[in-house]
Structures are given as C-alpha cells and as structure tokens.
Amino acid sequence: METATAHATHHEHVHGHEEHHHEETFLTKYIFSQDHKMISKQFLITGIFWGIVGGLLSVLFRLQLGWPNETFPFLESFLGKWAEGGKISQEFYYAMVTMHGTILVFFVLTGGLSGTFANLLIPYQVGARDMASPFINMLSYWFFLAAGVVMFFSFFIQTGPASGGWTAYPPLNGLRDTAVNLGSGLGFDLWILGMSLFIVSALLGGLNYIATVLNMRTKGMNMFRLPLTIWALLFTAVIGVLSFPALLAGCVLLEFDRLLDTSFYLNNIIINGNLLGYKGGSPILFQHLFWFLGHPEVYIIILPAMGLVSEVLSTQSRKPIFGYKAMVFSILAILVLSFIVWAHHMFVTGLNPNLGAVFTLFTLLIAIPSAIKVFNWIGTIWKGKVRLSSPALFAIGFVSMFITGGLTGIILGNSAIDIQLHDTMFVVAHFHIVMGVSAFFGMFAGVYHWFPRLYGKYMNETLGQIHFYITLIGAYAIFFPMHFMTGLPRRYYTYANFETFNNFNFLAEFISIAAIIVFIGQLVFVVNFFYSIFKGRKVVAEKTVDGYDYANPWGTTTMEWSAPIERLHGNWPGDIPAVHRWPYDYSVNGREYIPQTEALKPGEVPHE
C-alpha cells in the first residue's frame, strides 16, 4: 500500500518550493504528510486498494454461489488449501463473505469515502489552510493503514481470516475454542485488533473534521453558507464520534470473553454435551452494542455520498440545489433518527415485541427525510442545464440507486414483514443497492468531479462514461432480481440441501456473471484513475495572478477553486479569501455562476 501511495504521487513534481517556508523531504511530503490534500490521496488510494480486494472476494464467492457444482482448478493455484481441487472450502467461503463485508463497509465506504472527501473538501470549502490538527489528521491515516495491514495480514495465517460474519456475533465469535466448528481463531482476534485500530482512526479523523468545520471557517462563512458536502461530512463525523465508541467497547468485551474467559456475551454454552463454564452473559447485548454503531454506520457511509451528490448535481446542472435548508435539516433528522433505529436489525432475536414496535416507528420515519432529499435532487435537475459528464452521470445513478434501495427499506423496516425477510437475500439486495452501490456511485461522482482538484488533471471522460453504464446496468442486473430470492437465507454456501431454496440456481448463475462483468468494469475506473494521474489532460489556467495559475474546471461557486491549480501547502498563497454569499448562486443575475468569494454588488441582496 505504501508503494501504491508513493507511486501515485510520484508524478507530482515538487514545484513551488520557493513559496514554502521549509524544505519538504520526500518522506514529509508523500509519506508522513500532514497536508490534508496528501492525506486525502492516501485515503483514496488505500481505499481503492481495499475496493479491489473486497470486490475480488465477492467475485470469488459468487463463483461458488453461481456454480455450486463446478470446480475451478485455477483457484487452487492461488488459494491453495482454501480451494482444494478448485472447490472453495466452506471455511474460506465464510471467511470471504465476512471479509468482503468488513472491508467494503469500513475500509472502503467509511475510510475511503469519508477519509478522502472530508480531508480534501473540508479545508478547501470552509476556507481553512488545513485541518484543525494536521498531526492528528496524519495519525488518523496511519491508524487506518495499520488497521488495514492487520486485516490484510489475517488472510495469510494458517487458520485463515475471520469467518463468523462481519457482524461478529457471539457466541460463534465469542468462543476461541477450536471445538466450535467454525474456526473463529486467530483470524478473528486480528479482526478485533484491526477494527479497534480502525475505530481509533475514525475517531481521530472525526474529531478533527468537527473541529475544523466549527472553528476554522473563513471570514463570512457562516454555517448556512456551507456547501452541503460540508454539512454532510460534519454530521457524518458527529455520528461517527458518538457511535464508534460503542463498537469499541463491544469489541473489547468480546475479546475479554475470548481470551480471559469472561462471560459478557456467553451463557450456558453446550458443545457436544459438555457444558462450558460461561454463566450469565447475553449474546444479545453484543448485538445491541454492535448495531448501536452498525446502523448509524450506514449513514456514516451514505451521508458523505449524499453531500457529494448534492454538490455535483447542483454544479453540473448549473442550478442551485433545490431546498438548501430542507436538505440541511433532513440530514440533521437522519442524524438524530439514525441513533434510535438500531434494533430493527434485531426484530427476530426474541426482543420485547413492544420494542420492536417502537423501532418500526422510528425506522419508517427515517424514510421521510430520505424522501425529501430525493425529491430535492430531482427538483435540482428540473429545468437545469445539465452537463451530462461522468460526475453528473454518477450523481444521477446515485439518486436512482438510492431510490430503489431505499424503497425496499420501507418493507424491511416493518417488523411484521421482516419476520420472513430477515437474514434473507432480500436484505442482501436491499442494503447492497442502498448503501453499497449508491455510496459507490456517490464516491465515483466525487472522484470524477474533484480529481482535477486532487491532481490538477482530468480523468478520461470516455472511460468514465463506459464505467458508468457498465456499473449502472450491471449493478441493477445483480441486485434487482435478487429481491425475488425472498425467503432464501443469506450466507448459504449452497442451497442444494433444501428443496425449498434450490429453484433459483439459474438466477444465481446470472447474478454471478453480472458480478464478474461489473468487477471488470470497475477496473476501467482503476485504470482510468492511475492513467489520468500521470497522463491525464491537464487543467488549463484561466488566469494568472502573482505567478499562480487559477482555473475553475466545472464552474463551481464553492471555495476550492479560489485556490491555485497547484496544490500549495496552506492552500491559498496570500490571505484566505472572505465569503460573501451562499454556495449556490448558479444561473442568477444573468451570470452562469457567482463564486462565494465574490463581493456583493451595491444593492444586491444575498440569498439567505
């Protein structure tokens, strides 16, 4: 990973030395960087690495699901004992499913998404020279990387990585005993270590984001002049800071159960007729702790994507975001509600039915702010002048996916219906569309849109559009039909043991083929990304002031392009510009756009 990071940034000639007060070495500029833009790149490239790993895992277990009776001899050559005779073993299947979830939820869509865009956009868009604490910001990345190294390492130990599901439920994951048929051995201890490091990273990052947004806004940048990206990233950080500690506590107690034989989550465990000594714990307690983070976690994933999409849609439609304040308050509503819906993951755990009813109420309520956001995005495109470039396409794809996946949430959130659907493929289809695919669409929209800001170059438009259509159509081909596998339990290695579930093999095969195509389609993005870093079309200066080149590739109002094309440490060469207006003055007063930094004309009333 380090090499990948270093490689990716090699191209950046160390120009602009004379402006810096101190000489930067390779090590301080690229590796132990405290510059928010470099840390953003580090998060992004590490995220891309994890995205490839996580995606590859899904392709491998889709081979098993799509063709349960076939063998794939080539698998044995690089998986060894995990795929003897070309047949993926049960242990490794569950390990891949577990790690696929962990990697994509935490390492790609939390670390990769929030880490990249909070770091890039918060200082640029609030008008700050860097994060409140650049050093803590650097630590945040290094804890993230260390977490990743631990997780990656767990693939290479003899008993394999964690395989008890990304939700890590005890007792399966609470017993360190090899007598339990599924080896939740060393791999799971590493999982807990990796997750703990990850949580430290998320907390360090989150506190920094909050401090920066609240304290380091430039002159004139009051809260209601913040672009929606910043609102979304701020609220995301708040959710993370309030909920990640619960998971850390939960994980530490789980490790106590495993290593010190405590009984926080274990009670009356009987294995082969032998009563183990655990007494008085509750496996359900862990689920409460897990989902107290786990549910807000999906908003940690989706809110930044929503923020990016709001900004991209508005910019690319040359039209203000529709209902700016409604958007802000709906994110706030989602933030508040996200903390009181967690038990909808536990409707059939034997929870008190009254609690189930309350959680149904709050869960379905969350559909209202989500609906408001969807209508506002559609309202933004309406009568706009939409430039259908890659970022806009991905933003539209995000809204489409968010609608489709969000709607089925209304079914799952209703406890009475959830009895049948809980832990079935319907759930898999739902959450992959609503938080997996759509968050990826948001992330891609962001990467295509802000790539010029990161690297001073554009990503290739043709490849971007090819990538878009493969992903849009492919993702629907994978997950839309999956809804019809209602009642087929998830996390099944094969359905062959059941008469009831064995009818959908043709569909499983179709889904697997689509998944492989979509995975290859994502490689188009990876190729485009690294190719464009080196050979991409350069951002051309539109004006030059005091020897600094300025441009505004998409014609945005927000502050990131009031800084020079060159990525200076400190962002602006002179004073930080002051802000005079809200961030969405598009197509107003006969102008295509008016930057936030432009002073009001005499007599002009700012939009508030």
Nearer to other proteins, 130 or 255 (CB): 255
Which range, of 11-19, 24-32, 533-541, 598-606, touches other proteins by CB under 8 A? 533-541
Residue from the set 56, 157, 252, 357 that interacts with other proteins by CB under 8 A: 357
> Given the complex with other proteins, which of 47 and 183 has the nearer CB atom?
183
Q: Interaction with other proteins in 539-578: which residues (CB under 8 A)?
A: 539-542, 551, 553
Among 2, 14, 25, 461, binds other proteins (CB under 8 A): 461
Using CA atoms, how far apart are residues 94 and 169, in angstroms rounded to an integer? 14
Contact between 343 and 351 (Cβ < 8 Å): yes
Nearer to other proteins, 275 or 545 (CB): 275
Find the part of the chain contacting other proteins (CB under 8 A) among 185-193, 429-437, 579-587, 596-604: 579-587
Q: Which helix (H) or strand (E) holds 75?
A: helix 73-79
486 contributes a contact to other proteins by CB under 8 A: yes
Stretch that binds other proteins, among 104-112, 190-198, 501-509, 571-579 (CB under 8 A): 501-509
Sole window of 12-20, 24-32, 234-242, 268-276 interacting with other proteins (rule: CB under 8 A): 268-276
Which is closer to other proteins, CB of 399 or CB of 579?
A: 399
Q: According to CB under 8 A, which residues from 62 to 101 bind other proteins?
A: 74, 90-91, 94
Residue with tokens 């939390």, as numbered in its chain: 110
Q: What distance in Å separates the CA atoms of residue 112 and residue 106, rounded to the nearest whole number?
A: 8
Q: Figure out which of the listed residues 6, 186, 242, 365 binds other proteins, where binding follows CB under 8 A.
A: 365
H or E element, residue 545 = strand 543-545
**Binding to other proteins, residues 190-249 (CB under 8 A):** none
User: Any contact of residue 586 with other proteins (CB under 8 A)?
Assistant: yes
Kindly list the distances between the CA atom of residue 184 and the CA atoms of 192, 193, 252, in Å, as whole numbers in the listed order. Answer: 11, 14, 16
- Gap between the Cα atoms of 254 and 258, Å rounded: 6
481 binds other proteins (CB under 8 A): yes
Of 502-531, binders to other proteins (CB under 8 A) are 503-504, 507, 520, 523-524, 527-528, 531
In order, the DSSP letters of 160-206 are -S--S-TT--TTTTT---TTSSS--SHHHHHHHHHHHHHHHHHHHHH
Asked if 463 interacts with other proteins (CB under 8 A), we say yes
| Choice from 44, 120, 374, 533 touching other proteins (CB under 8 A) | 374
* 500 burial type by CB count under 10 A (0-12 exposed, 13-18 middle, 19+ buried): exposed
> Site mask, other proteins, residues 394-423, x = CB under 8 A?
--x--xx--xx--xx-xx--xxxx-xx-xx
Interaction between residue 11 and other proteins (CB under 8 A): no
CA–CA distance, 228 with 442 (Å, rounded to integer):
13
| Position among 14, 26, 537, 545 found at the interface with other proteins (CB under 8 A) | 537
520 CB contacts (<8 Å, ≥6 apart)? none
How many residues contact other proteins, by CB under 8 A?
Answer: 146
Among 517, 568, 588, 598, binds other proteins (CB under 8 A): 588
Burial of 343 (0-12, 13-18, 19+ CB in 10 A): buried
- Of 258, 251, 301, which Cα lies nearest the Cα of 278? 258
- From the list 138, 254, 386, 508, which residue makes contact with other proteins (rule: CB under 8 A)? 386
Rounded Cα distance, 567 and 15, in Å: 10
Does position 435 interact with other proteins (CB under 8 A)? The reply is no
Separation CA 55–CA 516 (nearest Å): 9
| Residue 607: CB minimum distance to other proteins, A | 6
Closest CA to 224 of 325, 304, 309: 325
Which is nearer to other proteins, 175 or 239 (by Cβ)?
A: 175
User: Considering the rule CB under 8 A, would residue 52 count as an interface residue with other proteins?
Assistant: no
Give residues 133-192 in contact with other proteins (rule: CB under 8 A).
Answer: 163-165, 169, 171-172, 175, 177, 179-182
Q: What is the CA radius of gyration of the chain?
A: 24
